[in-house]
A and B are shown apart, each in its own frame.
Chain A
Amino acid sequence: MMGIAQTVLVEIVRGHGQLAVLATLSDKPRGDVVKAVQRLKRRGLVAAVEPGLYAATEAGRAFVQAGHAVASGQGVKPRRRTRGLRQRAWWVLRVRGVVTIPDLLMTLADGAERDAHANLSKYLHALCRAGFVAEIGRSAGAAPTSNGHKRYKLVRNNGRQAPVVRQRQRTVFDPNSGDCFDLGGGRAP
């Protein structure tokens, strides 16, 4: 069974571009046909010729000829604005130059994350082994028996995108340069 957008697209490709005709052919209310046409327009499959008259674009014709069906989730996904904790930690690291894990947690972790401390600790440890950050001593901790908190200094700042730790390959991928660094510190082959 075809959805209304698919029916409308097929009819427009056949040359029935008027809204009233489309409503009759698809046996749907005119309002639903308008919404379907707008959806197709946003996806670049049809274009308005004049008010109330639509024609298929090249992409629309190719879409139908290829036998594709209009469904949700096929369009280009917009860039996500909310970032993962590691990407956000990389942002703060680039801004401040030197960070500790408590610093990062007090800036980024609002309690919604699952074990943010372990996540950041593993991430910074991997960055350190791959040569993106260096440990530069410790800052004092609040508890009387605390060993303090490790301070991490950014030493390889290749760009905005956070390095990706690939546990299975034992490498850190830098999306800014496209290079892979192994967790021993050298550049991976």
Chain B
Amino acid sequence: MKHVFVKTENHRRFLASVAMLENRGSVERCLLPVKGKPGVGKTRVVDNWGSAVDAVFIEGIPGMSLRYLKDALKAETGVKERTGFAEFQALTEFFRNDGHPRPIILDECQHGFPNKAEVIEYLRRLAEKAGTILVLVCHTSESYLLDKYDHIKTRIGCVCELLPPSLDDATLFMREQCEVDIDAALIAEVHKQSGARYRLIADALANLERIAAKLGKPSLALADVHGLPLCQDWERALKAAPAKRAAAHAGHGARHGEAK
């Protein structure tokens, strides 16, 4: 596989959301929630941007408190002040960065909501004072928490939803990453089998390269892999399991009834 960052539609969507916040009118609307289902590329897109702008990255953990957040911020920023006011002022100055504000990223932001969302609220005040952006990354299933508190939801400048890859996106991803040429029908098959998730597409690409090496071909068409599973969707298998078990149970019950 070629190891390269692919500028997908999600990447463009994220950059557009950031640009919208950077050009916002009101400073207090500094929150940028980024939500998406697992495997849509949240981490990669956010890390690519965060490393480019030298953002401060905080990872949310279960049981996260305000004390924990302050310690994490001080470790990241090198701020040494110990009293509350001086600490906040020093952190604000750090994030202001002489007129080039450093953004803040809170990953797994759902862990910042306990205790009246004190963690999010502290970061929000900090971002507002420093004139920067607070990126809140979470799964789609947890994004309802943002709607819970008025003082948070009214400060949202833009919501960025990262979507599963379209066929065009999957085509771009596969053409840029795969060492062998793949025809359009095979790309559509990988897109279908992967359930439009980048992680599974990457698995399929690795398998396609192995198949191409085995067949000694520089390019692959759908006919070369017809009927082969190219990636394993365990999530789908788990969802199917209860239905299969129920069907098996029903079949067993029927046979048992017949025997009686």
Q: CB within 8 Å of B: which residues of A?
A: 78-79, 81-83, 87-89, 91-92, 94-95, 101-102, 105-111, 117, 142-144, 159-160, 176
Contact = CB atoms under 8 A, between A and B. Distances in A.
B100 interface: yes
Contacts, number: 72
A110 B51 contact: no
B3 A81 contact: no
A91 B78 contact: no
B206 to A, nearest CB: 4
B3 A117 contact: yes
Contacts of B247: none
Contact of A108 (B51, B53, B76, B78): B51
A83 B47 contact: no
B54 A160 contact: yes
A101 B47 contact: no
A148 B47 CA distance: 24
A125 B81 CA distance: 36
B44 interface: yes
Contact of A79 (B4, B51, B98, B213): B98
B97 interface: yes
Contact of A110 (B5, B50, B206, B213): B5
Given A81-B53, A159-B78, A106 B209 contact: no
B1 interface: yes
Nearest to A140: B206
B77 to A, nearest CB: 8
Nearest to A159: B78
Nearest to A94: B57
A88 B44 contact: no
Contacts of A144: 210, 213
A88 B51 contact: yes
A111 B52 CA distance: 15
Interface in B177-219: 205-206, 209-210, 213
A107 B4 contact: no
A142 B100 contact: no
Contact of B213 (A101, A111, A143): A143
Interface size class of B (residues with CB under 8 A): 20 to 34
B51 A92 contact: yes
Q: Looking at B52, B54, B206, which has the most chain A CB atoms within 10 Å of its CB?
A: B54
Nearest to B100: A79
Given A78-B100, A81-B54, A91-B54, A109 B4 contact: yes
Contacts of B57: 91, 94-95
Contact of A142 (B77, B97, B206): B206
A81 B51 CA distance: 10
Interface string B95-121: 001111000000000000000000000
B54 A101 contact: no
Interface in B5-42: 5, 7
A79 to B, nearest CB: 5
Contacts of B78: 159-160, 176
Given A107-B5, A110-B5, A159-B78, A81 B213 contact: no
A73 to B, nearest CB: 19
B220 to A, nearest CB: 15
B167 to A, nearest CB: 21
B209 A142 contact: yes
B48 interface: yes
Interface in B116-174: none
